[in-house]
Structure 1
Amino acid sequence: MCGTLSERNGGGCAETASWKCRPFFQWRGGNKREMMIRIGEIAYANSAPIFAALRRMGLADPYEFIPGEPAELNRMLYAGEIDLAPCSSFEYGLHPANYFLIPDLSISSDHEVESVLLISRLPIEDLHGKMILLSPASASSNALIRILLEKRYQAGCAYRFPEEGPHRSGFEANARIMIGNPALKVYLGKNRSRPGYVYDLSLLWRDFTGLPFVFALWIIRREAVLREKEEIARLVQSLYRARGFAESHFHEMAGEFEKALEIPAEDLVRYWESISFDLNEEKIKSLKSYFDYAEELGLIPKSPPLVFFIGA
């Protein structure tokens, strides 16, 4: 795997041809300022193109990048350990008063997403009253499966997180949530122990609502805006540029990342092309529906208004 949490590098990479001149799992130093903007970086394939493009275009130097799984980034953002990140949509629903949203940026899927799965021993229609293992790495997906099972299938399931450590009970659930690169490999059939029933949560949501699903939003802490509004406005413009650049260079990026991710380049290209990085009106409608259902189930206190960052 390229890079560790303890590594730090400085300098730019605009003159190199490699997408991996700054591995997307890597901590970053750069040109230090008194207060550097700290950006959370999802250590999954779904966000790799945006971060790779930032580095390839020489736009990453003023910032510090801190990698983690979605749930880790949610915690760090809420605690003020990072200033902004592509975080679980659910995190915004929990703490909307703390945040602004970056307009027209997300990690979404119009149909299948392939990397957020329900893996079940039984058909989903037969999960009534059964135990579902949630993912410790994801908040949006955990809420989504509860919405789907309770609102679409009226399943009355029980939910818990997997136990950790040497004293695990060994209890096995009937179904579990899997996300990220491991889920993508299962979906692609790389894991030969693939179970009998694999459901794509984005596709289930589309079938239920007729809408795409927004897994992650680019979220900014409000106090970071008060401190660094002009710099954040510049960063937002850099993110828009990086998105456009990434979407036109998927094939080149896939060739660079296939070894690190252990996913064939052609599968990476198809996967990235299935993801949407914008936040259009249909996705905003979906997001509001998701929050409304989450409120109905008591998963968040109240379905929040969407408050967007307005640049300097």
Structure 2
Amino acid sequence: MCAGISGRKAVPAEAAVRGRPTPESVGTSLKSTIDIDGRREPFRPRAAPRTDWSREFVGATGPQDGSEPVRPRVGHISFLNCVPLLWGLAKSGALSDVDLTEASPDILNTALAEGRLDMGPISVFEFLKHAEDLVALSDIAVGSDGDVQSCLLFSKVPLADLDGARVALGSTSRTSVRLAQLLLAERVGVRPEYHVAPPDLTRMLDDAEAAVVIGDAALRAARHDAARLGLHVHDLGGMWREWTGLPFVFAVFAARKEFLARQPDVVRHVHSCLIEARDLSIQEIDLICEQIAERAEFDAERLKDYYLRGLRFDFGERELAALTEFARRVGGPGEGFPPDVRIDVIPAP
């Protein structure tokens, strides 16, 4: 049981994520509120306002006198894929124990790597680059064991025709970029020319034969644009599974090793809370999906399929084997880590 450090009571069972994407947040976040004890509040810790890293990232480093923060600085991915975890953390009362930073993956990656966060999710490519400073938490991650539904390659032509063609990358996430490049080069046998573009599928394909889109933008593009534009749709998680027989891990939850050394009990507590949040969200996934659907652009059944069939929040032996295999295939000079990079994992509490 995730017992709160602060002694704050758990959020009642009827508490639920509510929110509607704003024009400014489309493709990057789901702005959320939560009903707590009958009051509508922003979905953030009450005692510690959430940092907006998109505007205040530089210099937000916590206490400067050498003392420990009152609560660990923990990241949260502001995509639909992690809303159930946030719901579970809120229901358990664990949000009052952390300073939560909600942001896009690239911002959270940098924050954790530079020590501006103590714990949180990090894309696996960035985790491997900074493996000397980070330790992965077992039994909790963001991945898939087949089609993930939110990491997609859209193409005007068959994949075999992409050799030398332009491919737009709608994300700076090195994990999805390297996964796409790896699959096209080694599984399909083509070497396109890549360039980065904003994650708007129609515009991406104005001057490219194919495009890689991730996260909420991929879910929207698959629903609204693929059939209209007559595109081939390839799920990168499914392609990896067919090729290797392994799941794919897109992000692990990690702690900085120096923070673990100073605060092992805090790390264990947050680790336990994340696992409990995952389990709570699975138990009440119908309720979560119904409430997200009230404010999001996907119906409850579509969301449930995504959460239960597309995503996996496990990190066990198969997931570790998958991470090791990914490192072996993409690691080397110029990547920031060797193929045999050491991956440290701490067991679940």
TM-score by length of 1: 0.86
**Which deviations, in whole Å up to 9, do the C-alpha atoms of 1:52-93 show, x marking residues without a partner?**
101012121110111111111111111222111121111111
2: distance between equivalents of 1:297 and 1:200? 28
Residue 261 of structure 1 deviates from its aligned partner by 2.5
Structure 2 equivalent of residue 307 of structure 1 = 344
Q: Is the 8 A contact 2:154 2:226 kept in 1?
A: no
* 8 Å Cα contact 1:12-1:61 kept in structure 2: no
1:256-304, CA deviations, whole angstroms, 9 ceiling, x for partnerless residues?
A: 1113332111111111002111112222111111111111585343132
Q: Given the alignment, which residue of 193, 206, 217 partners 2:241? A: 206
What's the Cα RMSD here?
2.8
For residues 206 and 229 of structure 2, what CA distance do their matches in structure 1 show?
20
- The amino acid across from 1:307 in the alignment is D
Instruction: Return closer, same or farther for 1:154/1:19 CA change in 2, 3 Å cut-off.
Output: same
Give the match for residue 167 of structure 2.
Answer: 132
Secondary structure at the counterpart of residue 81 of structure 1 = coil
Q: Of 274, 282, 292, which residue of structure 1 is paired with 2:318?
A: 282
SS at match of 2:147: coil
Cα separation, 1, equivalents of 2:129 and 2:325: 15
Contact 2:171 2:214 (8 Å CA) reproduced: no
Where 1:72 maps in the other structure, the secondary structure is helix
Change (3 A) 1:266 1:257: same
Task: State the AA in 2 paired with 1:302.
Answer: P
SS at match of 1:260: coil
- Report the alpha carbon displacement of residue 110 of structure 1 after superposing the two structures with TM: 0.9
- What SS class does the counterpart of residue 91 from structure 1 fall into? helix
The 1:130/1:289 distance shift into structure 2, 3 A limit, reads same
> Would the aligned equivalents of 2:75 and 2:121 in 1 still touch at CA under 8 Å?
yes
Name the SS for the 2:246 alignment partner: coil
Provide closer, same or farther for how the CA distance between residues 102 and 69 of structure 1 changes in structure 2, counting only shifts above 3 A: same
Q: Within the alignment, does 1:229 sit opposite 2:264 as a pair?
A: yes
Q: CA deviation at 1:198?
A: 1.3
Residues 55 and 161 of structure 1, relative CA distance in 2, 3 Å threshold: same
Answering whether residue 214 of structure 2 is matched by residue 179 of structure 1, we say yes
Alignment match of 2:77 (pick from 38, 42, 54): 42
**TM-score between both structures, scaled by the size of structure 2:** 0.78
What SS does the aligned partner of 1:60 have?
helix
Tell me the amino acid that sits aligned with residue 30 of structure 1.
A
Alignment of 1:1-312 (within 5 A): 14-15=11-12, 17-20=14-17, 23=33, 26-30=43-47, 34-162=69-197, 172-189=207-224, 193-274=228-309, 275-295=311-331, 298-303=334-339, 304-309=341-346
SS of 2:271's equivalent in the other structure is: helix
For 1:218 and 1:88, locate their aligned partners in 2 and report how far apart those are by CA, in whole Å: 9
**Counterpart code for 1:228:** Q
Distance 2:293 2:33 in 1: 13
Match of 2:5 in 1: none
Distance 1:215 1:138, change over 3 A: same
Asked if the contact 1:130–1:158 (Cα under 8 Å) also holds between the matched residues in 2, the reply is yes
**1:28 alignment partner AA:** P
Figure out how many residues of one structure are paired with residues of the other and give that number. Answer: 299
Is the CA contact (8 Å cut-off) linking 2:76 and 2:121 kept in structure 1?
yes
CA contact (8 A) 1:26 1:67 kept: no
SS at match of 2:141: strand
- Any conservation in 1 of the 2:138–2:348 contact (CA below 8 Å)? no
Partner of 1:7: none
The answer to whether the 8 Å contact 2:171/2:213 transfers is no
CA distance in 1, matches of 2:118, 2:197: 30
Percent identity (aligned): 25
Quote how far apart the aligned CAs of 1:212 are.
Answer: 1.2
Contact 1:105 1:278 in 2 (8 A): yes
Shift of 1:153: 1.8
Distance in 2 (CA, whole Å) between partners of 1:220 and 1:34 is: 15
SS at match of 1:35: coil
